[in-house]
Structure 1
Amino acid sequence: MRLLWGASALAIAAFAAVPAAAASCDNFAPPPLNRTTLKTTAAEPGDPVACRIVGRSEPREGSRIGFEVWTPRAAWNGRILMLGNGGYSSALPLGPMKHFAALGYVVVATDTGHDGDGPDFARERPQAIADWAEHAVHESVVRAKAITAAYYGRPAAHAYFQGCSTGGHQALTEVQRHPDDFDGVVAGAPGANRTRLNIGFLWQFVQNHTRDADPRLILPASKLPMIRDAALAACRGRNGDPDVGGLPSDPYLNAPLACGFDPVALRCPDQDRPDCLTQDHVAALKAMYAGARDPRTGAQLYVGWPRGSEASAGGFGGWNLYWADPAKPSEPARSDFWRDWAGFGSAWDWRTFDFDRDATRALARLSKTIDAVDPDLEVFRRRGGKLIQWHGAADPVVPFEDSIAYYQRAAADQAKRGHEAETFYRLFLAPGVEHCQGGLGPAPIDLQTRIEAWVEQDVPPARLEARRATGGVAGVGFGRPLCPFPQVAVHDGVGPPDRAESFQCRRPASRTDRPAA
């Protein structure tokens, strides 16, 4: 098997090394594509992009899927790379697209089938929900492959997808529903359990607001840094333990789910002060740590947010980003999700939301369409696909416990089939990293290089190199390996503490991937 892979890798390398006889952008005649219009534009001299092909596809009634295919000015490396989106935004990731075009990739991105940056785009456009959730990426890459083959006179050797947050959601949707689209996929901090994630956001709002006509915030955002620091102080003592990994000096938590910090320890002895919590504060905070639950049965509807993620340490932001609508603080974040997606209508009021009846109704209406939670990855595995998933363990937006839960379900499904998930799917946790970036911990770098090595040379990622930004420059400074779950990075007791080479990946003797009792 390795001989076959080796020969294949040599053939691919030779294929990619030969410059393609690209068509001239001005003279390029795009291939006819079903229900799709295309427009080509030659880039300005000095631009790393040679030709921009802008498309609009209408594969279904009500669909308006926009996408762009950028061909590189440099010699094409034989690969297509599609980049994911963020939130509910239609914005294309222009910076990363230009970066990868300069490296020789044909780069693809989509507007997810709408204009704007909030879920209100689905108002009176129900088809737009399915396009955002699934069809936009699939339809765009299928057309991008045809365009690329016509432009260069040959098909791409490999197709890759890389995204974080909603991009991570898109990545998991692809491997579950369209396993033939991509050979290698990188899914960062995926908001793939989308309906339950929004139930979680709503839970945070409800638990932290009075139900008055003019709702009052219970726990103010100004106290979140103090709470985060108290949680870190209470639980950092486990850092450096062989079952936790890292070093005692790490300023973040290496095992947040093993942290049993109780906010009662911060209760004010008398009146409210900036450095303590009232009884109401404590109750609200405990409910948010616990996560959304069915009030009748106590069943968990969505995981809680981890200790140590309450406030940003210089990255994406803290809990307060999503516990209310920034433009209208008296309303929950993503209220239009409930009005327009869940079908509760314009008169929807969060005060009457029932976390039993209404949550069940929303899941029944939306989950099959928008949630990427199917653990069956067998078709993707059989065709040789490879998946790297990573998640920051201080993520204040999408709790990383959700990634663990999905990986464990997928691994269990593979085990029933007689396979080991790690042969094609690996999860990496990044302690101290916030939502896709930022935080006190090091984030993974060179992910595209690692997924290509796995796909094209059969070299699985035994670890990922991670670096913490120094002086505002990502990928420079403090280094630490990220280990495939459930392994942790353990210091060898000899090497410099800021060098990744000083750590080994080891499987912990006891589990630290579940909350302390």
Structure 2
Amino acid sequence: MKFVAICAASAALISTSSATAIPNDFKTRCSRLAHDFHPDRNVKVLVSEFWAKGTPFKNPENHPTCNMWNPAKVTVDLCRLRMNVTTSETSSVTVEAFLPADWKERRFLMTGNGGLGGCTAYDQMGFGAAMGFATIGHNNGHLGDTGVPFLNRPEVIKDYVYRALVTATDLGKKATSHFYQTDIKKSYYMGCSTGGRQGLKAAQQFPQKFDGIIVGAPANNFNNLLSNQAHQFKLMGKPGDPTYLNKDQWVAVNKVVLEQCDGLDGVLDGVIEDPMKCIPRPEAALCRPGQTWESHRCLTGAQVGAVRRMYEPFYSSNGTLLYNRLSPGGEIDPIRYGTSGYIFDWVRYAIYSNPAWSPDDFSLATADDVNKADLYGVSTWEDLTKLKAAGTKLLQYHGLMDGGITAENSYRYYEHVSRSMGLPSGDLDPFYRFFPIPGLGHCGSGDGAWYIGNGFSLNTELDASPLQNGGVLMSMVKWVEQGIAPERITGRAVKENGKMMVKDHCKWPSRNVYKGGDPDLKESWGCQ
């Protein structure tokens, strides 16, 4: 559930911003926030300071696990506000606000977290501010991408599951209105991975706090997601075990899967358009007698057997489906995600309160224990009755080459909502739309037209694309503010040869269909 390495939106994104656009009293009002803003006795303002466009970013959290959420620099003139909020006698949340000088549209954006949630998503906050939103982030009630603070501290776990998001949203709105001395026009949420689960928790439990909610690769079905990661860890083994694959070997498996499934959509373009149709045959990588990885870049029978099991669903001891298979095409992600320590931290510190618990002790009984606990409803697997009643819009997306959180879990959740609410897709469309994104990995990066204006950018040439209406954030704005619901989400990528790839991704249950022509052009694709 950890985010891929990213950089914030570049200066190209906000080239229209300049020092002359700063209101005369902006810096003064910003510096006085520490003295003027006192919403209640539980809130302490730690810092209020003006950050000019181009200022190098320095993370005030100073925790090594949080570095991947840092932008390189501030990309617009803004007021930065940092606060601490007491949530109980044993817990508190740090809340940050990036308040841009140019706030003419009066939009509010709440951001999500990643992993075990103890790092403020400064990169996403920078993106939101660059798009003109008053943007809020928080540390989810503890410091660092680790579960150690959960040990014997149930109130900290409660913050992680949902209370920090509620607290930061309410405080962020108060700070925004106080600073600009006007009401917020529309409120939005955007997050991916753990941030996606947080967004679904908001959609399920307190949708009235937002007009539009964007969730990517959501880590809902949380308990079984983590148990599946532990299952995969034991399945593949450790370095030196006969079943273990190193990074180069996973790359080789990925190549085999692409050879088998890339052409299913009618064109060989390096993207598996619909992994649901792909049934990989890892035996194609099997060594013949006398061959080895060193001599022929092939795999042993034990390795092939373990890989095959990665493409099988994970079931409980009584045969109940717990979690879906690894998504074909996402074979590289398990190096970073499938063997992650999140399940071990969650079980050690949150479930058993036993730091000595070992990953080797994981079993189906452990999975049962995690599910039975379902601390504060962290599973996040309810329907959207409250969202529909509130009139809030929900846009969900998931990369189809995501090997950390398989997209099959998002398909499964969509159909769960449809069944539990008794609503076919046409009746869900007014408030809930799901977009599978072929060629997108975990939140960002990938082999296809993966950049969809969600703030996760690896290439500055793409950073201006969210200004167009096809990306997820601005598509949500159009849906909420103009009543124009998204039928497609535009994705972009710059290929190694410098050519721009553009494709429109279809709303489920429609699928991307190749019509012919250059596969890098969106005119060559349609929805069916």
Q: TM-score, normalised by structure 2?
A: 0.81
Residue 319 of structure 1 corresponds to which residue in structure 2?
Answer: 334
Decide whether the 8 Å contact of 1:267 with 1:277 is kept in 2.
yes
1:215 deviates by 7.3
Residue 190 of structure 1 aligns to a residue whose secondary structure is: coil
> Which of the residues 310, 325, 328 maps onto 1:304?
325
Deviation for aligned residue 1:172: 0.7
* Deviation per residue, 1:295-337 (Å, 9 max, x gap): x4343221111222112xxxxxx21223435xxxxxx664222
1:18-417 pair list within 5 angstroms: 24-28=29-33, 29-33=36-40, 35-46=42-53, 48-209=76-237, 216=241, 218-221=243-246, 222-240=248-266, 248-271=267-290, 273-274=292-293, 275-294=297-316, 296-311=317-332, 318-324=333-339, 334-343=343-352, 345-355=354-364, 357-366=365-374, 368-375=376-383, 377-415=384-422
Cα distance, 1:215–1:41 mapped onto 2, change above 3 Å: same
CA separation in 2, counterparts of 1:20 and 1:153?
15
Tell whether 2:440 aligns with 1:440.
no
Cα distance between partner residues in 1 of 2:78 and 2:271:
44
The alignment status of 1:485 with 2:508, answered yes or no, reads yes
Is the 8 Å Cα contact of residues 180 and 383 (structure 1) preserved in structure 2?
A: yes
Contact conserved, 2:188 with 2:212, CA < 8 A, in 1? Answer: yes
- The separation in 1 between residues aligned to 2:425 and 2:307, in whole angstroms, is 43
Evaluate the alpha carbon distance shift between residue 27 and residue 439 of structure 1 in structure 2; reply closer, same or farther with a 3 A threshold.
closer
Alignment match of 2:482 (pick from 457, 473, 477): 457
TM-score (norm: length of structure 1):
0.83
SS at match of 2:500: coil
**Structure 2 CA distance for aligned equivalents of residues 418 and 153 of structure 1:** 42
Equivalence for 1:514: none
% same residue: 26
Asked if the contact 1:66–1:113 (Cα under 8 Å) also holds between the matched residues in 2, the reply is yes
**Residue 81 of structure 1: how far off its partner (Å):** 0.7
- Asked if the contact 1:164/1:436 (under 8 Å) is kept, the reply is yes
Distance 1:496 1:77 in 2: 39
Number of aligned residues: 460
Q: Which runs of 5+ in 1 are unaligned?
A: 1-18, 241-247, 312-317, 326-331, 507-517
Give 1:417 shift: 9.8
Q: Deviations over 1:168-202 (max 9, x none)?
A: 11111111111111111111111122211110110
Offset at residue 269 of structure 1 (A):
2.5
Q: What is the alpha-carbon distance in structure 2 between the residues aligned to residue 158 and residue 21 of structure 1? A: 25
The aligned counterpart of 1:7 is none
Superposition RMSD on alpha carbons, in Å?
Answer: 2.6
Task: Provide the rounded CA distance (Å) in 2 between the counterparts of 1:124 and 1:272.
Answer: 52
Q: 3-state DSSP class of the match of 1:290?
A: coil
Tell me if structure 1 keeps the 8 A contact 2:324–2:406.
yes
In structure 2, do the counterparts of structure 1 residues 144 and 425 end up closer, same or farther at CA, with 3 Å as the change threshold? same
Q: Is the 8 A contact 1:145 1:155 kept in 2?
A: no
Map of 1:10 onto structure 2? none
SS state of the match for residue 213, structure 2?
strand
1:424 deviates by 1.1
Q: Is the 8 A contact 1:322 1:333 kept in 2?
A: no
**Would you say the 8 A contact 2:191–2:198 is kept in 1?**
yes
Could you tell me how far apart the structure 2 residues matched to 1:307 and 1:209 are? 20
Contact 2:31 / 2:50 at 8 angstroms: preserved in 1? Answer: no
Change in 2 beyond 3 A, CA 1:131/1:503:
same
In the alignment, the residues of structure 2 paired with residue 21 and residue 291 of structure 1 have an alpha-carbon distance, to the nearest angstrom, of: 59
Which amino acid in structure 2 is aligned with residue 230 of structure 1?
V
- Counterpart-to-counterpart distance in 2, 1:206 and 1:492: 43
Output the CA distance in 2 between the equivalents of 1:358 and 1:45. 50
Residues 419 and 259 from structure 1, CA distance in 2 versus in 1: closer, same or farther, beyond 3 angstroms?
Answer: closer
Q: Distance in 1 between matches of 2:106 and 2:277?
A: 45
Q: CA distance change for structure 1 residues 58 and 417 in 2, over 3 Å: closer, same or farther?
A: farther
Following TM superposition, by how much is the alpha carbon of 1:40 offset from its aligned partner in structure 2, in angstroms? Answer: 4.6
Contact 2:205 2:386 in 1 (8 A): no
Cα–Cα, structure 1 residues 230 and 103, in superposed 2: closer, same or farther, change >3 Å? closer
Instruction: Give the whole-Å Cα distance in 2 for the aligned partners of 1:158 and 1:52.
Output: 21
Deviations 1:149-172 (A, max 9, x none): 222222201110111111111111
Instruction: Select between 406-415 and 389-398 the one with higher mean Cα deviation.
Output: 406-415
8 A Cα contact 1:179 1:380, kept in partner:
yes
8 Å CA contact retained: 1:25, 1:40: no
- Deviation track 1:425-471 (CA, whole Å, cap 9, x = no partner) reads 11111112111111211122322110000011110001011112345
Aligned in 2, Cα 1:236/1:471: closer, same or farther, shift over 3 Å? closer
Residue matched to 1:16: none
Summarize the Cα distance change of 1:478–1:409 in structure 2 as closer, same or farther, 3 Å threshold. Answer: same
Q: Name the amino acid aligned to 2:318.
A: T
Map Cα deviations across residues 259-300 of structure 1 (whole Å, 9 max, x no partner): 122223333222452232222112211222213223x43432
The one-letter code of the counterpart of 1:456 is E
**Inter-CA distance 123–344: structure 2 relative to 1 (3 Å threshold):** closer
